Amino acid sequence: MVTIKDVARVAGVSIGTVSNVLNGKESVRLQNREKVYKAVDQLGFQYNMTASALRTKTTKNIGLIIPTIVNPFYPELARGVEDEARKAGFTVFLCNSDREEEKERNYIGALLSKGVDGIILLKPKSSQEELRRLNSQIALVVEDWDYRSDQELMTVSSDGYMAVIQAMNLLFQYKHRKIAFISGLMESPSGFGKMRAYEISLESRNISYRSEYVAYGDYSWKSGYAVAKEFVKLETVPTAILAANDMMAMGAMKAVQSMGYRVPADISVMGIDGIEMGKLCTPSLTTVLQPKYEVGVAAFRLLGRILAGEDIPEDKRHIMLETRIMERESVAYADEGRLI
Amino acid sequence: MVTIKDVARVAGVSIGTVSNVLNGKESVRLQNREKVYKAVDQLGFQYNMTASALRTKTTKNIGLIIPTIVNPFYPELARGVEDEARKAGFTVFLCNSDREEEKERNYIGALLSKGVDGIILLKPKSSQEELRRLNSQIALVVEDWDYRSDQELMTVSSDGYMAVIQAMNLLFQYKHRKIAFISGLMESPSGFGKMRAYEISLESRNISYRSEYVAYGDYSWKSGYAVAKEFVKLETVPTAILAANDMMAMGAMKAVQSMGYRVPADISVMGIDGIEMGKLCTPSLTTVLQPKYEVGVAAFRLLGRILAGEDIPEDKRHIMLETRIMERESVAYADEGRLI
DNA sequence: TTGTAAGCGTTATCAA
DNA sequence: TTGATAACGCTTACAA
């Protein structure tokens, strides 16, 4: 293995000088700088970050823990993290927790052992207690976490509550009043927030809440499919179905169609996320765009600032990104050509 | 920072003993073993893999370079790699090359610097020359690479050639003879193989090749969309469209529908890949299942064996996984209720 | 079975 | 501006 020692020998300078050149320090005479580069080329020297990491205690690696890779939402978000990380010279370990607390914990331990400089944790399953402890030993940014419960934690989210408000407003605009809701898991702030927003929206229009119009899925399209079938079997069939994410919405759309109803002529279906795939179903899915990629970018930027030693003022510790309606084809007026 | 030195002090043993305990060496007396574990707990000791890596020259990290995260094909494959890697105690750096040679090269360099033990490279853009050199300095497994050009390289693939043969046979079975083909990029063995298989299939049925029935996409649904529109504008509209991957097929389906034709009643559309999303379009996409996850698993297993120092015999260096037809709703008989 | 000490490839301090 | 040298936290002979 070629080390800076070899480079130093060949270049005829000290290893300190080589190290300085490699780290872009200004203090090296041009002449020596060139000698070093020449030797590097000549020897095919490969810089060893492991050694550097041991000495400097920084690996330029970060860990990114995502709940699942099955929902394209997370790869898109991960992409934002990765792109931004690369710009800053960081490499990312991508880990799937499968929404399991145990796996999440294991990965955190592994990442800590690997000496990552920071961790970005999406939709954490760990307890507040654990996260707080983790936060005290490593730079941490958490997504979809209720920052009001812990001001210390750095958080990034897109506004699930507002997303549902926007979605409901669109549905109201299209004259829907019988709106069913496929909620996600009641384990995250966004899960709760969306549910709450659904209730509030109904209230604001004086529409009474019907428990048979609410069901819970696990964010998979299959759960959306199963649950939507039940909605359609109801005595008073809803005229619109809103799902907490696009995957469930697409499942619901399939279910509605499989039961012989048309989307959106008979039943409108709407999702939340704005994944690319929503454009490919028929009809294409009307949804609320969550800035996934941007959440990833923001998460890394925040982490980067922590790593740079910046003290983030209280009011900058919690980033919330806006969502916006993305109207496509799956929502139509409630009273248009209805079979029901 | 708590080191094994501290653990040794607290446990009242030597650091060598601590190291042995931590590495599960049998040679330590039970009594000491327990003392060490107690001290580890008491001190909240975090094992430092960086130090270990420097000494042992193995990081238990691998790099996985994928062409894109936009096509769910690759996340699914990546998942196979990750799961299998985790079982073996490895962590994976996931990198997106965006199908750009430059980016791929950069990532390879970064991974090398990070001291990964091995690299899995999907759909490489690098030259054979470069890959050969890379292979000589690090454990390497390459996907979608023509192993006949270089027996040394370890390769894993799913059989694109056979996939198209199977797809064409299905279409023939459904009485199609006017079959258009959306080819992928002619840069990879699978790209070439699929094209070749299309030609051979036609030949075997004595159907003459029409150049206007062949177009090239870049694997994105948009390219499939654009290209399919041209097919539909042709004087003799094809009765079936086969795309080299599911994303393009789904785009093609959208295009066909947007031009007022029904799928599959007027035009059948078929893809290759078997991505989960194919179930969610309407009609659901008939396709050829490529064992993505299994390719990932196989790739890591092969890499793992190289890392374990096994000498892989020539005939085990090239793994090719079988594909199979996954019939869904987008292919029907050529002469059924046709408008054209 | 255990302890001691050299060394992995860098960085950083200090003196020159 | 440079060179020499002691760390960094672990593993691994080798000696005890």
CATH code at position A153: 3.40.50.2300
In a domain, B215, yes or no: yes
Beta-bridge partner residues of A242: A181, A270
Give the domain range for residue A232: 158-288
DSSP A64: E
Give domain status of residue B339, yes or no: no
Same domain, B186 and B114: no
Percent of chain B at pLDDT above 70? 99
Give the side-chain half-sphere CA count within 13 A for B68.
Answer: 11
How many folded domains does chain A comprise?
Answer: 3
- Comparing alpha-carbon positions, the chain B residue that sits nearest to A282 is B282
- Give nearest nucleotide to B55 (CA–C1'): C8
B287 to chain A, any CB pair closer than 8 A? The answer is no
Residue A65 forms beta bridges with which residues?
Answer: A95, A121
Tokens of B237: 């509209």
In degrees and rounded to multiples of 5, residue B337 shows phi and psi of: 55, 35
- Per-residue HEC secondary structure of chain B comes to CCCHHHHHHHHCCCHHHHHHHHCCCCCCCHHHHHHHHHHHHHHCCCCCHHHHHHHHCCCCEEEEEECCCCCCHHHHHHHHHHHHHHHCCCEEEEEECCCCHHHHHHHHHHHHHHCCCEEEEECCCCCHHHHHHHHHHCEEEEECCCHHHCCCCEEEEECHHHHHHHHHHHHHHCCCCCEEEEECCCCCHHHHHHHHHHHHHHHHCCCCCCHHHEEECCCCHHHHHHHHHHHHHCCCCCCEEEECCHHHHHHHHHHHHHCCCCCCCCCEEECCECCHHHHCCCCCCEEEECCHHHHHHHHHHHHHHHHCCCCCCHHHCEEEECCEEECCCCCCCCCCCCCC
Quick one: DSSP state of residue A90?
-
Q: What is the pLDDT of residue B150?
A: 84
Q: What is the CATH number of the domain that holds B34?
A: 1.10.260.40
The pLDDT value given to residue B86 = 95
Contact status, residue A320 vs residue A147, Cβ threshold 8 Å: no
Q: Which of B54, B69, B280 is facing A51, going by the closest CB pair?
A: B54
Identify whether residues B228 and B240 lie together within a single domain.
Answer: yes
Task: Examine the domain organization and report whether A171 and A192 are in the same domain.
Answer: yes
CA distances from B217 to A271, B244, B328, B331 (A): 29, 9, 23, 21
Residue whose Cα is closest to the C1' of D12: B16
Q: In whole angstroms, what is the distance from residue B210 CA to residue B235 CA?
A: 13
**How far is B276 from chain A, CA to nearest CA, in Å?**
9
Contact B299, B282 (CB under 8 A): no
Strands B287-289 and B324-326: antiparallel
Domain presence at residue B302: yes
Those residues whose C-beta lies under 8 Å from the C-beta of residue A274, and which sit 6 or more positions away, are A246, A287, A288, A289, A290, A292, A326
Q: What is the mean pLDDT of residues B237-265?
A: 97
Write down which residue in A17, A37, A52 finishes a domain. Answer: A52
Residues B92 and B85: beta-carbon distance below 8 Å: yes
pLDDT at residue A216, as a whole number: 98
Q: Confirm or reject contact between B234 and chain A (CB < 8 A).
A: no
Q: Do B82 and B101 reside in the same domain of the chain?
A: yes
Mean pLDDT score of chain B: 95
Please give the average pLDDT of every successive group of 10 residues along chain A, which has 340 residues. 95 96 93 96 96 96 95 95 96 95 95 96 95 95 91 94 98 97 94 97 97 97 98 97 98 97 96 96 96 98 94 92 97 71
pLDDT value for B148: 87
* 3-state SS assignment for residue A291: coil
Same domain? For B205 and B178 the reply is yes
The distance (Å) linking the CA of A129 with the C1' of D9 is 29
* Rounded-to-integer distance, Cα B30 and Cα B13, Å: 13
Strand partners, A325: A288
Number of other residues whose CB lies within 10 A of the CB of residue B281: 27
Residues B276 and B135 both lie in one domain: no
A203 and B CB contact within 8 Å: no
Residues B120 and B94 in one domain: yes
Does B164 lie in the same domain as B148?
no
Report yes or no on B340 lying in a domain. Answer: no
Helix/strand/coil percentages in chain A, nearest 5: 45, 15, 35
> So what's the pLDDT on residue A338?
52
CB atoms B113 and A47 under 8 Å: yes
pLDDT, residue A148, reads 87
Taking a C-beta distance cutoff of 8 angstroms, is the pair A250, A71 a contact? no
Alpha-carbon span A307 to A135, nearest angstrom: 13
Answer yes or no: is pLDDT of B63 > 70: yes
Q: Which residues pair with A288 in a beta bridge?
A: A272, A325
Residue B332 counted as domain residue? no
B51 touching chain A per CB within 8 A: yes
Kindly identify which residue of chain A lies nearest to residue B282, measuring between CA atoms: A282
A250 touches chain B (CB under 8 A): yes
Cβ of B281 within 8 Å of Cβ of A280? The answer is yes
Residue A232 and residue A121 share a domain: no
Q: Long-range contacts made by residues A142-146, C-beta under 8 angstroms, separation at least 24?
A: A143/A77, A143/A295, A143/A299, A144/A188, A144/A189, A144/A190, A145/A188, A145/A189, A146/A189
Q: Does B198 share its domain with B284? A: yes
Angle subtended by helix axes B4-11 and B30-43, to nearest 10:
120
CB spacing of A93 vs B95 below 8 angstroms: no
- CA of A19 vs C1' of D4, distance in Å? 14
pLDDT value for B178 = 97
**Is the confidence at residue B339, as pLDDT, over 60?**
no
The answer to whether B91 contacts A110, with C-beta atoms less than 8 Å apart, is yes
How many CA within 13 A on the CB side of residue A263? 32
Residue B255, pLDDT > 60, answer: yes
pLDDT of residue A44: 95
Mean predicted confidence (pLDDT) in B20-44: 95
Mutation to test the B interface, candidates A1, A2, A50, most B Cβ within 10 Å: A50
A307 domain-assigned: yes
Q: List the B116 CA – D16 C1' distance (angstroms).
A: 38
Whether residue B194 lies inside any domain: the answer is: yes
Residues B150 and B182 in one domain: no
Quick check: A201 and A168 in contact, CB under 8 A? yes
pLDDT at B340 over 70: no
Decide: B112 and A46 in contact? Cβ < 8 Å: yes
Whether B337 maps to a domain, the answer reads: no
Amino acid at A312: I
* pLDDT tens figures, B261-287: 999 999 999 999 999 999 999 999 999
- pLDDT value, residue A150: 84
Chain A residues touching B110 at Cβ < 8 A: 91
Show the tokens assigned to B235. Answer: 């004087």
Q: What is the pLDDT of residue B147?
A: 87
Give mean pLDDT, residues B7-25: 95
Same domain, B270 and B299: no
Judge whether A281 and A248 are in contact, CB under 8 Å: no
Tokens read off for A327: 């109207």
Is beta strand B318-321 parallel, antiparallel or unpaired with respect to B268-270? unpaired
Say how far apart CA B139 and CA B309 lie, in whole Å: 10
Burial of B132 (0-12, 13-18, 19+ CB in 10 A): middle
Q: Which residues pair with A291 in a beta bridge?
A: none
Residue A9's Cβ-count burial label (10 Å; 0-12, 13-18, 19+) is middle
